[in-house]
Structure 1
Amino acid sequence: MFNEVYDVIVVGAGHAGSEAAAAAANMGSKTLLVTMNLQNIAQMSCNPAMGGIAKGQIVREIDALGGYSGIVSDTSAIQFKMLNKSKGPAMWSPRVQSDRMRFAEDWRMLLEGTANLDFYQEMVSGLLVEGGKVVGVRTSLGIQIKGKSVVLTNGTFLNGLIHIGDKNFGGGRAGERAATGITEQLVDLGFDSGRMKTGTPPRVDGRSLDFSKMSEQPGDENPEKFSYLKATRPLTKQRACHMTYTSLEVHDLLREGFDRSPMFNGRIKSLGPRYCPSIEDKINRFADKDRHQLFIEPEGWNTCEVYVNGFSTSLPEDVQFKALRSVVGFENVKFFRPGYAIEYDYFPPTQLKHTLETKIVQGLYFAGQINGTTGYEEAASQGLMAGINASLKVNEKDAFTLKRDEAYIGVLIDDLITKGTEEPYRMFTSRAEYRTLLRQDNADLRLTPKGFELGLASENRLRRMEEKHQAAKNFVSFFETTSVKPEEINPILESKKSAKVNQSGKLFKVFARPNIDMADIRKVESVESYIQDHNLDREIIEQAEIQVKYAGYIAKEKNNADKLTRLEYVKIPEGFDYSQIKSMSFEAREKLKNIQPTTVSQASRISGVSPNDISVLLVYMGR
């Protein structure tokens, strides 16, 4: 069946695997996507949504590089919200509520329309490794498929174990079996492995809920979209979500099942996501809270299935049902399926290079939850980077990595490789020290040229980015060179309780005031005329406003990034012997030996390596 040798074999077709396969194939590599069930490509295993705090920035970055997640998020969206709009633009984060079935269908259609990509449905039970290099995979039927590189994106399927109360059974997702064989082989090859857990809430019948008792959560009045391509369109109609709350009565009912909870009786020993705890964990850790929010999210345009966000649980199904029936609006609730927790194998990501290639086996890449992350967006971005680098490696081209001041994707991968993680890793804006530079609005300006060089971003996409960049630059220049008279600007300033001006001055200076926004400055006739004459769209107007109002902050952060980036160019020789540096602390020597950083900058970010240790290292290297 498989006589040819593939350039890239991707194992698993979740968010990471789908992006990896698309990237490798679009870069011209002969690619095979192997998954246990082709009907579940890009399945939204948990909540039906893409984006959110920092996650929205990642989706925009994937899109800017030429990935598919942003496009599919737009075509399958049922609601759009820009989160954190009351804060500065570095915090703005797009999020869409998705039609779960349409999301998976659109992903599959995009993949099937991708040249150089083959599909095969079966479980991969092992790797073919020769001389420290991967040469293919072995399936559960014993079929050997040869490949020059392999990307593992197994999600929660590696020895997955599902827990519902005092019951547990093997599975990688509800209704799907676990994957076996790979973990054991990797451990034999010298890899360290661990266990993590995550969970999901019940799915319920929306026809059985009383939404009149809940508060409606509509989408944005003027919704935007994820992809920078003009081919996708903002929503013209949206579905509302709703919000309700738990209560002390609900909490008491949940506590009745704690003795049967796998979280509290010791059956689950692995750590779950800190920032997305189960409902039983919330009422246990925050015992002083008399209620918790529940977001009631529709699963699509037409289905009556509803996702109960905030009620993730592994309690017995009868306890889940009894407690939910005491939630306002859920008095007559009917279940589609109970919530559950799942334990699965992962591999500490310090065993990887920044390309996501493993240090032990050449040509083998890990992406997604196998690296200890949680979230569709984090997984998709890793898949994209692994697919890119696998394709580059087999074609003997230089690796592609992103620095911390270039992308949230760079922050994510650097955190994983340098610091590792012992609990499911989730991206936040606070993890990015250069978040003023890494905004969701400028991901295309930062990354589309790189995507174009890789062969992922089209020339049309690049041209559109360049036009946006030039138009915004020209608009900013207009503010810098155009003056406004006191009699025209002072009424506007008075209305905003801002100090009046006594003489004509540049618009830039007035617009830069914190209490003056674009709506105010457009009342100046010359500004509105410029916008109309140049047919500027919302994207360009927003970009120019940010560049004017945050020019000082952006320049300062760019300067700080440039200073620290210099250490990125100080390379550490491969296989460097840290044991010979006796004046370095023992902990630093051990950490550096295990992680094997490639640059002094990366070494400086390792926990346990002090500034003094870095100074010693630089002196030893003749710097």
Structure 2
Amino acid sequence: MEENSGFPQIPENACYLAESYDVVVVGAGHAGCEAALASARLGAKTAVFALNLDSVANMPCNPSIGGTAKGHLVREIDALGGEMGKAADKTFLQSRMLNRGKGPAVYSLRVQSDRRAYQQVMKHTLELTENLDLKQAEVTSLFIENNQVLGVVTHTGAFYPAKCVVIASGTYLKGKIIIGDTAYAGGPDGTRAAEGLSASLLACGVQLMRFKTGTPARVNRSTVDFSKMERQDGDETITPFSFETENPGENKESCYLTYTNAETHKIIMDNLHRSPLYSGKIEGVGPRYCPSIEDKVVRFHDKERHQLFIEPMGENTEEMYVQGMSSSLPEDVQIKMLRSIKGLENVKMMRTAYAIEYDCIDPTQLDLTLEFKEIRGLFGAGQFNGSSGYEEAAAQGLIAGINAARKTQGKPPVALDRSTSYIGTLIDDLVTKGTHEPYRMMTSRSEYRLLLRQDNADARLTPLGHEIGLISDRRYALFCKKQERIEGEIKRLEKIVLPPSDAVLSFLKEHGSTPISTGAKFCDLLKRPELDYRGLISLIGEEQGLTGQEAEEVEILIKYEGYIARQQKQVEQFKKLEERRLPEGIDYEKIDGLRIEARQKLVKMRPSSIGQAGRISGVSPADISVLLVYLEQNRL
């Protein structure tokens, strides 16, 4: 058989030898797009395969990017040189910063996107990227020899040799659509499922799981009575996702809030026996933090109502999502439910809500680099890894793409830890702790959330993005100047003392703040919760020309200085344990004092550090002490 540039013979299930690549990405959803772009931009010859090119960067579950904790991920993706934030800025219909009434650690940007415009922008970006080929085909099998991935085979019998493969299959892998008693093979939004790859993965020894997610119905805007709903407008001042976006544009659409009621709940309970979720027809595990409406009504039976958000799908369509009402109930029940809701009494449903089951992997099979431990050159990203959400997927895709490209180039991998980013927390949670349900990012998952704010994502990650090669020299220079302005302003303010003048005392009284009798440091006054940077600066009349985002960061760094210093000390302790490496070939079976469960978990997980070992379920602090003693005794 013919050979190709050092690659092995064509596998038996292939018909012909196609073009060879450094990196092949399977799937072109949010994970696949970021993986492919990162790989190609780093100089690796890359191909990305989609079942249908019209589904590239699709948003089947909701037409939004960002939200609580998810907004942090998008800003971190952008800070590293990813694409999601830029595409969201170009195509948003409405932008809001959530949680403004809370502390800055949980501020989270969320936009309603024009779903089709987002897809078009992302697809065109892929098409224009050097080193990147976008292809429509189903990858049905992997070619692996001696625990090394060597390429992929498509449904047409083409063998594409590849040094690395990233699987980002989303919810397509053996996808099954379920609506009441109706069930059929399929992917999101009427697309077909990917049927072949699961068997190939199983044959390679990959452990699969079965998860489920759901989508809400889509309704016709002209049949919605918005006068009965609460209107929700976007922010007057738009905060962009991308640190490079200078003119983010304006809000174009409003969203609307309505609620379920007693009648809605009665319809659901009366038809619960017809729900595949409760009849046993659905086998996959669904997301705890994004349950279907029938699950909400059953689990939270004491709640009189549940919020529903009516959100536009795009600027040039009349379709609207009924967000918060995903369901797998029969179609006739869905119509009754919808028409029981205020403002939807005469609604016409355009797309039925549905549940979708799909195959994914146990993510503990992966390293922190998202490469499989037992199969060299094979990476996983997104919902394939057991996560849920566009943003979680894109974050993993970016890291997988970076590491796949670097592996082909003989460069060391990139692994983010929990103290650097939400991306690091997300990946560490998945590969260290595993997940028994679709994993969703939340601010509460991070121990260091005051340090990992969305406003300082560039300060945390842009130097790394530049070092990797995804941040241009020009962008990095602008970033450095921004940091200089912020640091310079803080140093300037530390020297300023405000006197108890009439203007200062009047200002303090106006803002309900305790008066001063002697001179007070500017920074001490700024730490008062009722006072802000812009107000205090007006007293000294010395504006430094900071942008709104720069001024906000100055205020946060001063106001929360003590709390930030405390978390930085916690990070230092964390780093010590992370830097205490565990040798790759360590034999845990021979370490006296380890409990049996700990031995089993450590053998399976093969943690890279003492810190990671301590986060494995079933490994106790006593086991960690035993490991530390063992390392000292053996001078490892």
- TM bracket (short chain): over 0.9
Q: Tell me the CA shift for residue 518 of structure 1.
A: 2.3
Distance 2:567 2:356 in 1: 41
What SS does the corresponding residue of 2:317 show, helix, strand or coil? coil
Distance 1:4 1:298 in 2: 42
**In the alignment, is the contact (CA less than 8 A) between 2:258 and 2:342 conserved in 1?**
yes
Matched, 1:577 2:587: yes
Distance 1:437 1:205 in 2: 43
Matched, 1:415 2:425: no
What SS does the corresponding residue of 1:522 show, helix, strand or coil? helix
Distance 2:99 2:264 in 1: 30
- The runs of 5 or more residues in structure 2 that have no matched partner are 1-15
Deviations 1:176-234 (A, max 9, x none): 1111222112222222111000000100101111101111011112221100004x522
Matched, 1:297 2:297: no
**In the alignment, is the contact (CA less than 8 A) between 2:66 and 2:391 conserved in 1?**
yes
Q: How does 1:559-598 map to 2 (within 5 A)?
A: 559-598=569-608
**In the alignment, is the contact (CA less than 8 A) between 1:297 and 1:309 conserved in 2?**
yes
Aligned match of 2:44? 29
Q: How does 1:37-436 map to 2 (within 5 A)?
A: 37-230=52-245, 232-436=246-450
Distance 1:2 1:69 in 2: 34
Displacement over 6 Å in runs of 4+: none
Pick one of 477, 485, 492 that aligns with 1:471.
Answer: 485
What SS does the corresponding residue of 1:148 show, helix, strand or coil? strand
Aligned match of 2:520? 505
Q: Tell me the CA shift for residue 483 of structure 1.
A: 1.9
Amino acid in the other structure paired with 2:375: V
Matched, 1:613 2:623: yes
Return the TM-score normalized by structure 2: 0.95
Q: Tell me the CA shift for residue 535 of structure 1.
A: 2.1
Deviations 1:382-407 (A, max 9, x none): 00000000000010001101111101
| 507-516 or 467-476: bigger deviation | 507-516
**In the alignment, is the contact (CA less than 8 A) between 2:18 and 2:158 conserved in 1?**
no
What SS does the corresponding residue of 1:345 show, helix, strand or coil? strand
Q: Tell me the CA shift for residue 3 of structure 1.
A: 4.8
Distance 1:101 1:373 in 2: 24
Deviations 1:413-439 (A, max 9, x none): 000010000100000000000001100
Amino acid in the other structure paired with 1:202: A
**In the alignment, is the contact (CA less than 8 A) between 2:293 and 2:326 conserved in 1?**
yes
**In the alignment, is the contact (CA less than 8 A) between 2:18 and 2:159 conserved in 1?**
no
Distance 1:306 1:539 in 2: 32
Distance 1:409 1:200 in 2: 25
Amino acid in the other structure paired with 2:332: D
Return the TM-score normalized by structure 1: 0.97
Pick one of 538, 553, 556 that aligns with 1:523.
Answer: 538
Distance 2:478 2:422 in 1: 22
Q: Tell me the CA shift for residue 2 of structure 1.
A: 6.0
**In the alignment, is the contact (CA less than 8 A) between 2:126 and 2:134 conserved in 1?**
no
**In the alignment, is the contact (CA less than 8 A) between 2:29 and 2:168 conserved in 1?**
yes
Pick one of 535, 540, 553 that aligns with 1:543.
Answer: 553
**In the alignment, is the contact (CA less than 8 A) between 1:79 and 1:235 conserved in 2?**
no
What SS does the corresponding residue of 2:103 show, helix, strand or coil? coil
Matched, 1:447 2:461: yes
Equivalences, count: 617
Distance 1:281 1:505 in 2: 55
| 567-576 or 52-61: bigger deviation | 567-576
Matched, 1:6 2:15: no
Amino acid in the other structure paired with 2:393: A
**In the alignment, is the contact (CA less than 8 A) between 1:38 and 1:121 conserved in 2?**
yes
Deviations 1:216-258 (A, max 9, x none): 011112221100004x522323311001111111111122322
Distance 1:296 1:77 in 2: 16
Amino acid in the other structure paired with 1:585: R
Distance 2:524 2:618 in 1: 46
- The runs of 5 or more residues in structure 1 that have no matched partner are none
Deviations 1:264-317 (A, max 9, x none): 110112210001100000111111122111100011122110000011000000
**In the alignment, is the contact (CA less than 8 A) between 1:56 and 1:94 conserved in 2?**
yes
Pick one of 514, 519, 542 that aligns with 2:529.
Answer: 514
| 438-447 or 582-591: bigger deviation | 582-591
Aligned match of 1:601? 611
Amino acid in the other structure paired with 1:598: S
Q: Tell me the CA shift for residue 33 of structure 1.
A: 0.7
**In the alignment, is the contact (CA less than 8 A) between 2:47 and 2:133 conserved in 1?**
yes
Deviations 1:522-565 (A, max 9, x none): 331x2x42x2xx32210111111111101111111111101111
Deviations 1:105-138 (A, max 9, x none): 0101111121100121110000011211001000
Distance 1:130 1:154 in 2: 22
What SS does the corresponding residue of 1:94 show, helix, strand or coil? strand
Pick one of 560, 565, 574 that aligns with 1:555.
Answer: 565
Deviations 1:434-476 (A, max 9, x none): 0011000000111111001111011122112111111111111
Q: Tell me the CA shift for residue 331 of structure 1.
A: 1.1
Distance 2:590 2:323 in 1: 53
**In the alignment, is the contact (CA less than 8 A) between 1:12 and 1:35 conserved in 2?**
yes
